[in-house]
A and B are shown apart, each in its own frame.
Chain A
Amino acid sequence: MKCDEVYAWLQAYLDTAVTPEEERMVEKHIRSCASCRRRLVELAQTIRTLEKAGELTPRQEFTRRLMDRLQQERGAEREVSK
């Protein structure tokens, strides 16, 4: 099995989106191929970094302004339907 052929499975493997048969194939390949093994580890590390990127919280005043804006929208709607 060539590295190019295994590549898409390698990626899908990281999302646990492979069939058990494909999983075995990937694992067999990476046991014998150091460069794919390294690529897999680096991809996993990249994904971990992404997922650790953390969540931001909107500023409180933003939430208030958003609700005010929606209130205006409702007001405008009522004006139209009068």
Chain B
Amino acid sequence: MRLLTTRRELTDEELVGRSRDGDQDAFARLVGRYEGKIYNLGYRMLGNREEAEDITQETFLHTYRALKSFRLEERFSPWIYKIASNLCLDRLRKLKHSAASLDARVGPDGDIPVQVADWSSAPDRLYEESEARADTQEAINELPPKYKVVVVLRHLHDLSYDEIARVLGVPQGTVKTRLFRAREILRRKLERLYQQMRPDASEGERVAP
């Protein structure tokens, strides 16, 4: 039977304190709170479920091992995001190296991958929401990692400029520059996708009388 309790929820930082003192349930509760968030971060950054699972496991192992170095006056959430983001960026660097040695899918500046999407069957299909989602993920996948991480933290995890700056260890100005560039790249990419999908989009805007 579920016990009705008026106890307040423990904060993340309190759970860290208890985990450090050997309370196993406390760490399990932190996993419960953050597993979905870290998994989604991994998925958006790396683009598939297997990698996302891998990075989520790595993140919690790292977090667990590093519990002793966590300062209790800090906030837990930027800390775990930092661990997860760094692991994702490392993974992307490794993937890029192995991909670059296999084929030349990297653009001339070594940064932006050449678009390889196959749109041959696109005009026949209705542009449905699930497809919009897939296209969005594809557009995110193609962003250079340092732009990608900022967009993901801002728009899929709702972090502020300042929080992102702390997670990534860069100045706020850098966060803004990267975010603005990333959104501009995405705008152009998604705009092209929408137009491909909607042949009538090129018609002039209708003005209400």
- Which A residues form the contact surface with B (CB < 8 A)? 7-8, 11-12, 14-15, 17, 39, 42-43, 45-47, 49-59, 62-63, 65-67, 69-70, 73-74
Complex Cα–Cα for A45 and B183 (A)? 11
- Chain B residues 1 to 55 lying within 8 A of chain A, measured CB to CB, are 24, 27-28, 31, 35-36, 39-40, 43-44, 49, 52-53
Structural contact, A12 and B39, CB atoms closer than 8 A: no
* A43 touching B183, Cβ below 8 Å: yes
Does B133 lie within 8 Å of A55, measured CB to CB? no
Contact across chains for B39 and A56 when beta carbons are under 8 A apart: yes
17 new A-B contacts, CB < 8 A, other than A55-B36, A58-B39, A70-B28, are A8-B176, A11-B180, A11-B183, A15-B154, A45-B190, A46-B186, A46-B187, A46-B190, A47-B183, A49-B190, A51-B156, A56-B39, A66-B57, A66-B60, A69-B61, A70-B31, A73-B64
Whether the Cβ atoms of B61 and A46 lie closer than 8 Å is no
Q: By the criterion CB–CB under 8 Å, are B40 and A55 in contact?
A: yes
Determine whether the beta carbon of B190 is less than 8 Å from that of A53: no
Report whether B35 and A66 are in contact in the complex, using a CB–CB cutoff of 8 Å.
yes
Q: How far is the CB of B111 from chain A (nearest CB, A)?
A: 20
B190 nearest CB neighbor, chain A only: A46
User: Which one, B27, B35, B61, B64, contacts A58 given CB within 8 A?
Assistant: B35
Determine whether the beta carbon of B176 is less than 8 Å from that of A58: no
B137 at the interface (CB under 8 A from A): yes
B180 to chain A, nearest CB (A): 4
Q: Given that A42-B187, A46-B186 are known contacts, is A12 also in contact with B35, CB under 8 Å in the complex?
A: no
Contact B133 A53 (CB under 8 A): yes
Measured CB to CB, the closest approach of chain A to B113, in angstroms, equals 19
Contact at A46–B39, with CB atoms within 8 Å?
A: no
Instruction: State whether A56 touches B176 (Cβ < 8 A).
Output: no
CB distance from A5 to the nearest CB of B (A): 14
B129 surroundings in chain A (CB, below 8 A): 52
Q: Is B196 an interface residue (CB 8 A)?
A: no
CA distance A66 to B28 in the complex (A): 10
Check B35–A47 contact: CB distance below 8 A: no
CB pair A69–B57 under 8 Å, yes or no, is yes
CB contacts (< 8 Å) of B140 on chain A: these are: 50
In the assembled complex, B79 has its CB within 8 A of some CB on chain A: no
A54 contacts which chain B residues (CB < 8 A)? 133
Name the residue on A nearest B130 (C-beta). A54
Q: Is the CB of B180 within 8 A of A8?
A: yes
User: How long is the Cα–Cα vector from A39 to B187 in the complex, in angstroms?
Assistant: 9
Contact A70 B183 (CB under 8 A): no
